[in-house]
Amino acid sequence: MYIFDVRTLCLIGAVLVLLGSAETIIYVLRRRPESGIDAAILETFRLRVHAWWILFAILAAAFLLGHWTTVVFFGLISFWALREFITLTPTRPGDHRTLFWVFFLCTPLQFLLVGLGLYSWYSIAIPVYAFLFIPARIALAGDCKRFLERTAKIQTGLLICVYCLSYAPALMSLPKAQPAPSEASVSAGKPAAASAALAHADPQAPKGEATAERPPDFTAGTRLLFFFILMVQLSDALQYAWSQVPSKHVIVPSINAARTWEGLLGGVTSVTLIGALLWWATPFQGADWWMAAAMSAVIALMGFAGGITMSAIKRDRGVKDFGTLVEGHGGVLDRMDSICFAAPVFFHFTRWWLG
Amino acid sequence: MDTNLARNGLALMARFLSGASVRWIDSQPDTCQRVYFANHTSHLDPIVIWSSLPQEVRMITRPVAAKDYWIKGPVRRYLANRLFNAILIDREEIKVHQSPIDLMIREIGQKYSLILFPEGGRQQGGGVGEFKSGLYYLCKKRPDLELIPVHIDNMNRILPRGEVLPVPMLSCITFGPPLWLEAGEAKTAFLERARDAVRRLKEI
């Protein structure tokens, strides 16, 4: 049970206190209609808080059951998000077989590689091999109508729902047990070696790397992932709360009428502050609180970018939500959009800092 | 008992694989004798509709399916005969003295409901084709049956005609308000009205 160290328990405690106080505030406000807060907004917020209880309960269970459970859990979320994405994206019958491989080969393989911790493979498997495979397979199907558009749709779905999201569980294997000087040289030479090795499917390359690298510190890694998810969810909630401030300056009215400058700035600032207060939970302890604060700001900004991108896609397709799985949350993808955009950036910043 | 377990398992699996969200619009699940008629785009359609019904309704509902497809191989035969208790219609051998309508009426008795696809075959794309007259003759002989229009959305992308492997996209099953064959209603008028009832569910 590697999860039970003091700092992890403190982090879980912080989440419980946060959700508990959110529930209390909503309960009090609902009892007092004279407070002037719109009942519909309150109801949306209440449903969101309920779903966060569910999300954090599932996350905690996955963490307790270990590293692979968490990877599989994120793999399933990814699969479902991709389902929602492709369902809303018009494809042609000629794309059918391509989609089959995207769902049943690319997605599980990506999470298998993440689970095995093979960074030099999972960081390029989709952007190089899958992205070249997709147009080639569509061309083989013999339907050239709107070829580039169809290719781009499937590639975008795979990139956002699978590749980006897989960086969340990859965070778990990021903090290493002990610092060693050889790290930079190992990772620098990898991409070329990996692509050369692919033609022969040489099993020696990944194996050699796994043993050469220091073993990941899953306790710190789990905490890092928990910190990340917490920050993304907080940034979503706080940006939503801040955008209820009366004087509204909508950022892009044609895409999303609910996202205001007040929401963005207020959200990013408060998330940065909370991140600074939670510095003890992160692996950036050498840099003290300011690194945790900077990372939190990056998470909040990327979360915003994800939200606005998904809004644009939904607006184009003329829908409000991607699906109907969790009450009050639209689809899985509606909740995952900020995580999808923030995960790879947070991962690479952290990797650069720790490396 | 084992069959029941397998049935529920199959229903659950079909629900997960088709990702179907089920909507009842101006309509409620009921165990009275009904005919669910739907647009047809994929071999999975009968299973998907059957599995989207509540369990007690599912037990007394029998899909009408093409014999040539469902008797091929032991798996399909087991599914059709033992699990969803299909009424298999021989599409090549439709004769006057063994009309499929008589077979259906004989098989449902006073207990079972039917799932049928009046287009007679799978359509390409998402549209709803012309209805064949079977639905009319069935209602002529059993005017007491409640007709429930059902629209299946997106199944044509999950398993299109001519493909073997499904792509797990999400589909949507919509059940609409019941209708009946009016006394003295002409065949073409009735079939057009039934077809419109299915098409209208797509827009909602």
- Shortest Cα distance from B168 to chain A (angstroms)? 7
Give A86's contacts in chain B (Cβ within 8 Å). Answer: 167, 169
Taking an 8 Å cut-off on Cβ atoms, the answer to whether A84 and B170 are in contact is: yes
Amino acid of residue B74: P
Give A103's contacts in chain B (Cβ within 8 Å). Answer: 167-168
Backbone angles phi, psi at A9, to 5 degrees: -65, -40
Amino acid of residue B139: C
Tens digits of residue pLDDT in A212-227: 567 777 778 888 888 8
Q: Are A302 and A346 a contacting pair, CB within 8 Å?
A: yes
Q: Find the mean pLDDT for residues B178-183.
A: 90
Taking an 8 Å cut-off on Cβ atoms, the answer to whether A324 and B21 are in contact is: yes
CA-closest candidate to residue B137, choices B121, B116, B109, B151 = B116
The model scores a pTM over 0.80: yes
The answer to whether residue A84 neighbours chain B at the CB level (below 8 Å) is yes
Q: What contacts A237, CB < 8 A, 6 or more positions away? A: A22, A45, A48
| Residue located via tokens 């910043």 | A349
Taking an 8 Å cut-off on Cβ atoms, the answer to whether B167 and A103 are in contact is: yes
Return the DSSP state at A286.
Answer: G
Give A323's contacts in chain B (Cβ within 8 Å). Answer: 21, 170
On the CB side of A105, CA atoms within 13 Å amount to 12
Q: Are A158 and A106 a contacting pair, CB within 8 Å?
A: yes
Taking an 8 Å cut-off on Cβ atoms, the answer to whether A87 and B154 are in contact is: yes
Query: What is the ipTM for the molecules in this complex?
Result: 0.79
In angstroms, the CA A116 to CA A47 distance is: 36
How big is chain A by its Cα radius of gyration, in Å?
Answer: 21
Nearest-CB residue to B165 (from A79, A84, A100): A100
Backbone angles phi, psi at B35, to 5 degrees: -120, 115
- At residue A215, the 3 state secondary structure works out as coil
In angstroms, the CA B201 to CA A297 distance is: 46
Q: Find the mean pLDDT for residues A147-158.
A: 95
Lowest mean pLDDT among A90-94, A292-296, B53-57: A90-94
Give A87's contacts in chain B (Cβ within 8 Å). Answer: 19, 154, 157, 169-170
Check residue B177 and give its pLDDT: 94
- Shortest Cα distance from B65 to chain A (angstroms)? 24
Nearest-CB residue to A96 (from B154, B160, B170): B160
Cβ atoms within 10 Å, residue A141: 14
Does the pLDDT value for residue A326 go beyond 50? no
Check residue A196 and give its pLDDT: 44
The answer to whether residue B127 neighbours chain A at the CB level (below 8 Å) is no
Give A324's contacts in chain B (Cβ within 8 Å). Answer: 21
- At residue A144, the 3 state secondary structure works out as coil
**Axis crossing angle, helix B134-141 with helix B187-203, rounded to the nearest 10:** 110
Characterize the bridge pairing of strands A250-252 and A256-260.
antiparallel
The answer to whether residue A138 neighbours chain B at the CB level (below 8 Å) is no
Tens digits of residue pLDDT in A63-122: 788 889 989 999 999 999 999 899 888 888 889 999 999 999 999 999 999 999 999 999
Taking an 8 Å cut-off on Cβ atoms, the answer to whether A86 and B154 are in contact is: no
